[in-house]
Structure 1
Amino acid sequence: MASTLPDNPSLERLRSDARALQRGVTSNDRGTVEMIRRYHPRPDIALESERFRLHDAQLVVARSYGFSSWPALVGYLRVADELAVDPTGIEEDAMNVADRFCSLASLRYDHTDAPPRWRAAADLLGANLDVPQHHIWAAASAADAVALRRHLAARPELATTMGGPFGWVPLLYLCYSRVPLSCNEDDVLAAAATLLDAGADPNSGYLWRAMSTPFTALTGVFGEGEQGPGRQPRHRFAPALARLLLQRGAHPVDQQTLYNRMFRADDSHLELLFDHGLADAGPSPWERRLGEAMETRNQMWQRQIDWAAGHGFAQRLALLARNGIDVSGAELVEPEFPEDPNARDADGATPLHHAAWSGDVDLIRRLLEAGADPTVVDSRFGTTPLGWAQHAYQTEAADYLDSWQTRTL
């Protein structure tokens, strides 16, 4: 099963948790005993020993996080130590200009992702035109094929060298860049091909805050995620760039891509991945490397099925079925227009808040015409549906809500 470790896990903290379990058994703590009975394969034998042993406690800790054993957990942490990156821990003010450009240009999958950062990267580049010459990672962020060739001619090994603010290989900076530059699709593809021709791995990736689902080059290209397409957009040339990576050997089973793109009804990513063998591809390099820390294929597909069924994505279920994925147990929940357009959820948000967040202008219009109050404030963030649309950079939805409120004043 997939690992459920917290972000940035610490081996020392996990060892401390195991020792705490030992103490909990000694004091006959009810919660500790229940945890051991849930996760230990032979709880009665372990608990009836004269002293609850450390290796039993470690086994319980490992199994509680989805690992079969303590050595398997420790082995994963050793791998994660090499590949983990925490973009939220980067101090941009202390960076040189090239590293700062890379950081501002990149989709980081944290709360700072937003168009103003990428515009700031473009402004920085405009004021420092030689930034792509500083190092290969900046050249990749700018998709500057000429600068990339110059760096590689001097040092061919740079194609696979980790560096820049995140310790990524150059291909990742190219795939995660969202800086609005004047380059066209051919320019970006030429830059990517330059790196691939020089030996860049199309399956390059990293572990976001040591999470066991890798963020690959494809993940960066396909984009999106929990914060929505306004704050975490696809690469401007996503279809062509993803196709190039797949043609050059990127594995089509990319769990993080499937997760990030499942929230909206568009299935273009799935169609492209299925065309390149998603349904029946063998183990990916990442699955081989991370082993049991990664979710199984069954878990991957079940999450896709559950989300599609629960959100009325009938076309996605049909697409999965056409490609041999068993969706027979799925019960499609048809979207229903709310009886009360001002009903609040547990966080005080109304259907209009959620429609604004997702940028569904047609639903926003219907809700307003049915009497939804655009001035209502949710209890979690303390803002209106317009505020939700603005925060999500759903500009069309924000403009519609703003104009509606102006008309009704």
Structure 2
Amino acid sequence: MSESLPQHPDLDQLRRRAKELRDAARRGESAALERFVRHHRSAGGDTFGLAAAQLVVARELGFSSWPRLKDAVDAATAEARTVTAFVSASVEGRMRQAADILRTERDIARRSLPAATVLGDATAVRDLLAADPVAASAPDRDRGWPPLLYACYSRWHRTDPGRAAGMAEVVRLLLDAGANPNTNDGGRPRYRSALKGAVEVNNPDIVRLLLEAGAHPDPGQPIAEAAGHRDQRCLRLLLSQGARVTGTWALGAAVFHDDPVATSLLLDALATPTGAAAGPATEALPEAAANASLPVVEALLAAGADPLAADEDGVPALRLAVRAGKGDSAARLRALGAADDATEVDQFIGACLIADRPTVQRLLAHHPDLPDRLTQQERAVICQTAGSRPADTVALMLQAGFSPHARNSVGEQPLHNAAYLGNAAVVRLLLDAGAEVDARDDRFDGTPLAFATVGSREQADRSGDWIATVRQLLEAGADRRGVWISGKQPSEEVIDLLRQYDITPDRPAAPQPENASDLPDPAEAGELADIAVHLEAAFRDHDMDLFGSLLHPKVRWTGLCSSRTEVLDWLERILAEGTRPTVESVEVDRDAVVLGITLRGEGEGARPAPPQRIYQVFTIDGAQIVEIHGYPDHRSALTRT
């Protein structure tokens, strides 16, 4: 018997093999005795010990002794860890770590197909597939991903543009070898697929290859990711293949990112088949008036947006534009007939946001009580401003009567948002103004320092200075506990800084089970209890007719749908993609029914992602569901944050 060391050797498994051989030899089994005769002839009788059996196992694997076998296993294990760390860093965006490993392991692509795919080393991939053609579609042990997912989620084309052509060639090789262009892990709500990955990392060359090979453009809403890139190539490719816009957040993403080109492309796609662009454009107009530039507002108006549109609180778009200091957008809406009902408060806030000191001073001279007339919501404007505006703007707001202690609807103070977006100059300004360095928000119970560590990675595409931000907070005496959030790792640079201050990852808290005895009894909730029963049945049986009967015709599913038809269409498509919801809990809370739902996906070509729990809040009015919100955990569902 002779064999080679496995690709992923396990020393404990080899020890068990040696113990089994020893025991079999002591029982006199012929096969075991034959192995001893072949590899350790001097052993016998009482000498059938563990050491002798280990020597036999070592020699069967081509090693002269057990210690030499152990050294080889240790080396292979260390090498496997290095490869895993390199591949993980390459698809998770820790590119400095990946580059450091590559500098010391120049031949890493030759030792691992996933490593070769993330690097775009087409020669290595070609050779590895020639030796093992089945590997082109085989999920690996670490993530359960086949090579195609690694190729599509790799960020090396952004770090080293010279690798982009090789990465596209690798995808072509994998597809030619039988890889499925619709490969996905079935995850919900975090869905990973080849196409979604290529769009997320903005690799249009790979997006084109996948679409040409038959990748479906809709599952996982890659179009919403594409709409968030200032480069519209991926968006154009998806739209050219008929990607669905209705029922996605794509238009909202284009408006949020202030991209008039993407906005126009999406509106054109909405208008082409049904002429239905005016409704979505009207819905997006208030957000655009408040936060986007005039070209985005113009694109929405050109698509038929109603210039009289108002936000959910009934505030007209024109007033929102005035309050945001966007005089050009306000003038355009005014020219189209929108009533100019902006108040002195709106003008005051707008002037503050654009740091128009003369106008602020003039308004205060004529209306010295303006700061006292602000509502709590209006006072909270400084919270968002602290993250997105320069220090001069925030300084003017503080001088004009805004408070560094103001809180928005989720309990965030200005310092939270300034820290999250790495606005170091504003962080300094707020600390000097007496901001609470350890204030906690209501949604995450997080401090500004925790917001900064999370933002350093989540907002890495922005131009924030998180090193200066974190350093200022620490030097101001910020609490160091709970700032390294599990599952939300800081940027590599911030990790280095935290370690300089001896701050290491926090142990994640054990999940707290829901206590049903603390929840309201649905039987006592009357009409809502009846709706809860029907909702559970509809989800359990996937009964769209029953579910539809519970919906108001103009039900809103936040960020997704604005009518019963759209909601049912969206859910039917999710079910068709293989997602299976299971209701784990049902409760009545105030004016809503809250379902705890576990989502499972089947996956295609990859190991299915673990089931994920979400909470859906169905707000009831007049015995019908009028609004649907999704939340990641039970606490946020009950607090509606």
After TM superposition, the structure 1 stretch with the greater mean CA deviation from structure 2, 337-346 or 121-130, is 337-346
CA offset at residue 260 of structure 1?
Answer: 4.4
Structure 1: 5+ residue runs without aligned partners?
A: 1-93, 224-233, 280-296
- Name the amino acid aligned to 1:206: D
> Following the alignment from structure 2 to structure 1, what is the Cα–Cα distance between the partners of residues 414 and 234?
28
1:227-254 Cα offsets, whole Å, 9 max, x none, are xxxxxxx25xx12222232233322224
> Following the alignment from structure 1 to structure 2, what is the Cα–Cα distance between the partners of residues 267 and 157?
36
3-state SS of paired residue (1:200): coil
> Following the alignment from structure 2 to structure 1, what is the Cα–Cα distance between the partners of residues 439 and 93?
22
Q: For the aligned residues, what is the CA RMSD?
A: 4.4
CA offset at residue 145 of structure 1?
Answer: 0.9
The equivalent residue for 2:267 is 321
3-state SS of paired residue (2:448): coil
Return the match for 1:200 from 179, 182, 187.
179
Q: TM-score, normalised by structure 1?
A: 0.53
The equivalent residue for 1:246 is 211
Q: Aligned pair in 2 of structure 1 residues 138, 399: CA closer, same or farther (>3 Å)? A: closer
Q: How does 1:378-393 map to 2 (within 5 A)?
A: 378-379=439-440, 380-384=445-449, 389-392=455-458
The equivalent residue for 1:276 is 241
The equivalent residue for 1:142 is 119
The equivalent residue for 2:334 is none
Number of matched residues? 273
| Equivalent pair of 2:117/2:147 in contact (CA under 8 Å) | yes
1:343-376 Cα offsets, whole Å, 9 max, x none, are 3224542456446645789xx88x979x998875
More strand as a share of residues: 2
1:85-116 Cα offsets, whole Å, 9 max, x none, are xxxxxxxxx9653465245434799xxx452x
Q: Aligned pair in 2 of structure 1 residues 268, 368: CA closer, same or farther (>3 Å)? A: farther
1:207-238 Cα offsets, whole Å, 9 max, x none, are 23xx2674111211222xxxxxxxxxx25xx1
The equivalent residue for 1:226 is none
CA offset at residue 328 of structure 1?
Answer: 3.0
CA offset at residue 170 of structure 1?
Answer: 0.8
CA offset at residue 199 of structure 1?
Answer: 2.4
- Name the amino acid aligned to 1:127: T
3-state SS of paired residue (2:185): strand
Are 1:221 and 2:198 matched, yes or no? yes
Return the match for 2:465 from 393, 398, 406.
398
3-state SS of paired residue (1:270): helix
CA offset at residue 274 of structure 1?
Answer: 0.8
> Following the alignment from structure 1 to structure 2, what is the Cα–Cα distance between the partners of residues 315 and 181?
27
> Following the alignment from structure 1 to structure 2, what is the Cα–Cα distance between the partners of residues 399 and 214?
29
> Following the alignment from structure 1 to structure 2, what is the Cα–Cα distance between the partners of residues 187 and 119?
20
Q: Aligned pair in 2 of structure 1 residues 275, 350: CA closer, same or farther (>3 Å)? A: farther
Q: Aligned pair in 2 of structure 1 residues 218, 102: CA closer, same or farther (>3 Å)? A: farther
> Following the alignment from structure 1 to structure 2, what is the Cα–Cα distance between the partners of residues 317 and 324?
11
> Following the alignment from structure 1 to structure 2, what is the Cα–Cα distance between the partners of residues 107 and 262?
25
> Following the alignment from structure 1 to structure 2, what is the Cα–Cα distance between the partners of residues 198 and 265?
34
Instruction: Please say which structure displays the higher CA radius of gyration.
Output: 2
> Following the alignment from structure 1 to structure 2, what is the Cα–Cα distance between the partners of residues 298 and 311?
19
After TM superposition, the structure 1 stretch with the greater mean CA deviation from structure 2, 375-384 or 171-180, is 375-384
- Name the amino acid aligned to 1:381: G
- Name the amino acid aligned to 2:181: P
Are 1:101 and 2:80 matched, yes or no? no
Q: TM-score, normalised by structure 2?
A: 0.36
CA offset at residue 153 of structure 1?
Answer: 1.4
Q: Aligned pair in 2 of structure 1 residues 317, 144: CA closer, same or farther (>3 Å)? A: closer
> Following the alignment from structure 1 to structure 2, what is the Cα–Cα distance between the partners of residues 122 and 274?
35
Q: How does 1:257-268 map to 2 (within 5 A)?
A: 257-260=222-225, 268=233
| Equivalent pair of 1:98/1:132 in contact (CA under 8 Å) | no
Q: Which has the higher contact order (CA 8 A, sep 6+)?
A: 1
Structure 2: 5+ residue runs without aligned partners?
A: 1-75, 292-323, 325-352, 354-380, 383-401, 477-641
The equivalent residue for 1:161 is 138
Are 1:188 and 2:160 matched, yes or no? no
